[in-house]
Amino acid sequence: MTDSNPAPLFSRPKRRPRKNLTKNKNSNLHNSPWRKTVKTNVKPSGLPQVRLLLVWGVLLAGVLGLGWRVYQLQIIQAPKLQEKARQQQMVDLRPYIPRRTIVDSQNNVLATDRLVYSLYVHPKLFKTPKEEIAQKLAPILDQRTPQKLIEKFNQRESGIRIASALTEEVANKITNLSLDGLELIQHYSRFYPQQKIAADAIGYVDQDRRGQAGVEYSQRQLLEYDLLTFRIRRAGNGAIMPASVPEGLLDFDDLQLRLTLDLRLQRAARVALKQKMRYYNAKRGTVIVMDVKDGSLLALVCEPTYNPNQYFKYNIELFKNWAVTDLYEPGSTFKPINVAIALEAGVIKPHNFFYDSGKIKVDGWNIYNHDYHSRGGRGPMSIAKILQYSSNVGMIQIVRRMNKGDYYSSLKKLGLGESMGVDLPGDAPGYLKSEAEFTVRSIEAATASFGQGFSLTPLKLLQLHGAIANGGTLVTPHVVQGLADLQGHFHWQPSFPTKKVFSESTARAVLEMMETVVTKGSGKPARIEGYRIAGKTGTAQKASPWGGYLPNAKITSFVAILPVESPRYAVVAVIDEPKGSNTFGSTVAAPIVKSVMETLISVKGIPPSK
Amino acid sequence: MSVAPQVDVTPRRYHLKKQITAPRSEKNLRQDRFSQNPVPSRISSQKVEKLSARAQQPPIWLRTLLLLHYSSSVLTACLIAAILTVYALTVYAPQRWSREYKKLMNLQRDERHLTAANESLKNQLAQQAERSDTGLVNSNPTNAIFLPPAPVPAPVTPLVSSTNPTTAESKLPVATVPLAY
């Protein structure tokens, strides 16, 4: 029979004879039925007992010592040690969170981030002489002669920044030189691939990645992610310990800021504008295309403009978008608005006739038609004809029928003295004289009837014509369509207020009168075969800062609405100070609008009306 | 633990000292007798009885303790295995995470490169197209063809003529538009 009792798991090696430690001979163990041998009393010797106790005592002392050390480390020195550990292990991680990309309505990228390198030199680490290094670097960094580089090297012993925005190819070439003392630091910088085309709308960011103009400035809350700093633990070899990574490290979404601009239209508008401006040697110009249904701007072009990739090379005046910030006196382009105001007030009817005498005297001032000296008065004219020939006298007759105070409050209702709420920076409210000044004499209302004596921005004029086009609602022009993800779904869209200012019938009547301007009147250069277009020309004298008007400075403009049977788009072109003799809205601005409309028709696929 | 059967059957070892008087050669003999049929012992003072099977079992408290010991040993072994596995994971998972993180950073950087390059190319192409020597013109309405939407063809109906029963053809359905496949 095998051993029926289980062998003990832990057995001590036999070092010396074991003692019988039980003194009690009557214990159960000895008297159990399976143990029948009787022990004799063996007296244990004194020395081994003490040694056992000694061992036990030593071990106990060790345990106590450890316990005390644990207490000392965990409780007494804990804060200090924790601090030390934190310093060694934790690291502040600032993951690169890019600025949001800006795209146009067709998903072309207008602004994005790009990796660029800065080159720093530390002359104290140079192994080869400075001249040699300068010789090798100069051809790679073009625009630097070796002499200039050597001068720079002599400035300091370390940390001289030689170049700041090097592309990756250049950086690779520098790395391949394998020279000591050159350091390339990479960072992200904003890149505008379309360069000058959409600069007026987008704006630029400065060296600290802060938006300074355009959408980059006005929508900076949307474009910037929060600057997050994470405390992360690093292992000994520098790798991040993911257990300590808090939520949200990789959490940034890839939403893009989508603008309403259409790059094709923007390009076409810019080309047409630049061509005419060069021909007439104009000071500046602007073309704006707006969708009258909701106010989204399809094209916003200002000339001259700048390249936002190199904003530092340009005059600071170019950074503002003068279509939004600068006021001008609209001139004859405001006449349809006045007609709409008069129709809305009920003082005239669309079929009324007015007598055009060619010149008229108001409050001691003589006011002439622009072609009075060649053509004289034209006699009784319908309102459409007044617009076609752009007769100032006819407009005065129309506006005269209204109460001056009523006329003023209608102008105010259109928001002439307020800003529009555009989502571009520098939105300027128009200028309108005070009510007292306006109503005290008739001359103010008379000049306002043909668009002089008050001022507004080109965008405001477009907004007012948009109200005529869409049946009487003032919509807010805007550039931002919303935040969209890569599939095109919008996660956020802005909402803009609208205001009803005319009735549908009024707007329709004025639109049809404006159509005759293009078919029969001064807007003939803007005709397009097969399409019904409504428009109005404007040639205004520029106000002089010392009062009165400058004799030879004109500002020409043209507004068009397309197509008339169901109006959708409004286009305005304003050219400031074209030089030459034959400079009118019809000759300078209308052809620009015509070519923009042709591109608009092709891009949007507007079918012909006839 | 030596293979030879020992007297020690409890966790405490009992070393019999009093058998000094017995001849040493008989020590083993004596222990053999424990497992065999009882043989009268040479030492008169001793009396060896056969162990009954029942009595050979350890007492209950001892049994439970042993069972506890055994099960806790098994549990400890499993836990050790689990600990080793988890430790391996704690080493492997962060390594993997770091690799994937690096990959993610690289991919994001590449995506940005590609976007920038693509858009610059588009811009360059557009600028080249604008130049007049390339022979490209702006699209304008004179170049465009507008097609009116085609009217949906009326469903084919069979010709039923009730006025002229003599013509046989009128009884058959005649298609007015050819069916094209």
Q: How do residues A255-270 score in pLDDT, each as one tens digit?
A: 899 999 999 999 999 9
Residue A513's H or E segment, with its range, is helix A504-520
Q: Cα dihedral angle (A344, A350, A353, A357), rounded to 10 degrees?
A: 60
Reported as a single tens digit per residue, the pLDDT across B11-46 is: 555 555 554 554 555 555 555 555 555 565 566 666
Does A48 reach chain B within 8 Å, measured CB to CB?
no
Contact B141 A529 (CB under 8 A): yes
Contact A114 B116 (CB under 8 A): yes
User: Are the CB atoms for A6 and B63 separated by under 8 Å?
Assistant: no
End-to-end CA distance of chain B: 95
Which of A203, A242, A239, A207 has the alpha carbon at shortest distance from A219? A203
Nearest beta carbon to residue B55 from set A33, A39, A605: A33
pLDDT at B62 over 80: yes
Instruction: Tell me what percent of chain B is helix, strand and coil, each rounded to the nearest 5.
Output: 55, 0, 45
User: What does the block give as tokens for A226?
Assistant: 């929060």
User: Are the CB atoms for A20 and A42 separated by under 8 Å?
Assistant: yes
Q: Where are the alpha helices (DSSP H) in A178-310?
A: 199-202, 214-218, 220-223, 263-280
User: What does the block give as tokens for B68?
Assistant: 């506890």
A203: left (phi over 0), alpha (psi -120 to 50) or beta: left
Beta strands in A343-498, from DSSP E residues, in sequence order: 353-356, 359-362, 365-368, 379-382, 473-474, 480-484, 490-492
Looking at residue B37, its pLDDT comes to 58
Active-site annotation holder among A296, A332, A390, A557: A332
The pTM for the full model equals 0.74
Identify the three-state secondary structure at position A435. Answer: helix
Residue listed under structure tokens 């030189």: A177
Q: Find residue A576's DSSP bridge partners.
A: A284, A555
Q: What are phi and psi of B126, to 5 degrees?
A: -65, -40
Looking at residue A176, its pLDDT comes to 87
10-residue averages of pLDDT along chain A (610 residues): 51 56 52 57 68 94 96 89 84 72 92 87 84 84 78 82 82 85 84 91 88 90 74 71 67 83 93 93 95 95 92 90 92 94 93 90 89 85 92 92 92 91 91 90 91 92 95 94 90 92 94 94 91 93 82 91 94 93 89 94 87
Identify the three-state secondary structure at position A15. Answer: coil
Nearest beta carbon to residue B15 from set A9, A20, A530: A20
Nearest beta carbon to residue A602 from set B10, B73, B141: B141
Does A107 reach chain B within 8 Å, measured CB to CB?
no
Which of A286, A280, A272 has the alpha carbon at shortest distance from A328? A286
Contact B115 A4 (CB under 8 A): no
Give the residue with greater pLDDT, B72 vs B129: B72
ipTM surpassing 0.90: no
DSSP letter string, A555-587 = EEEEEEEE-SSS--EEEEEEEE---SSS--III
d(CA A184, CA A173): 11
Give the residue with greater pLDDT, B82 vs A255: B82
DSSP 8-state code for residue A218: H
Contact B138 A530 (CB under 8 A): no
Contact B115 A112 (CB under 8 A): yes
d(CA A131, CA A185): 23
Reported as a single tens digit per residue, the pLDDT across A161-187 is: 888 888 878 888 888 888 888 888 878
d(CA B1, CA A201): 90
- A420-457 exposure pattern, b = at least 16 Cβ within 10 A, e = fewer: bebbbbbbbebebeeeeebbeeeebbbbbbbbbbbbbb
Q: Where are the alpha helices (DSSP H) in A450-501?
A: 458-469
| Residue A332 is a catalytic residue | yes
Identify the three-state secondary structure at position B67. Answer: helix
Looking at residue A398, its pLDDT comes to 93
CA distance B85 to chain A (A): 17
d(CA A147, CA A131): 8
User: Are the CB atoms for A364 and A347 separated by under 8 Å?
Assistant: no
Closest-CA residue in chain A for B70?
A9
d(CA A232, CA B128): 50
Give pairs for A409-413: CB < 8 Å, separation 24+.
A410/A341, A410/A344, A410/A345, A411/A341, A411/A448, A411/A454, A413/A501
Identify the band that residue B61 occupies on the pLDDT scale cut at 50, 70 and 90.
very high
User: Are the CB atoms for A108 and A263 separated by under 8 Å?
Assistant: yes
Q: What are phi and psi of A470, to 5 degrees?
A: -95, 15
d(CA B40, CA B7): 19
Looking at residue A578, its pLDDT comes to 92
- For B123, half-sphere exposure in the C-beta direction (CA atoms, 13 angstrom radius) is 19
Looking at residue A116, its pLDDT comes to 84
Residue A114's H or E segment, with its range, is strand A109-121
Identify the band that residue B169 occupies on the pLDDT scale cut at 50, 70 and 90.
very low
Looking at residue A47, its pLDDT comes to 67
Looking at residue B17, its pLDDT comes to 54
Mutate to test the interface with B, among A15, A18, A233, A252 (most CBs of B within 10 A): A18
d(CA B73, CA A310): 75
Which of A445, A436, A377, A381 has the alpha carbon at shortest distance from A410? A445
End-to-end CA distance of chain A: 118
User: What does the block give as tokens for B1?
Assistant: 């633990």
Residue A116's H or E segment, with its range, is strand A109-121
For residue A386, count other CB atoms closer than 10 A to its CB: 24
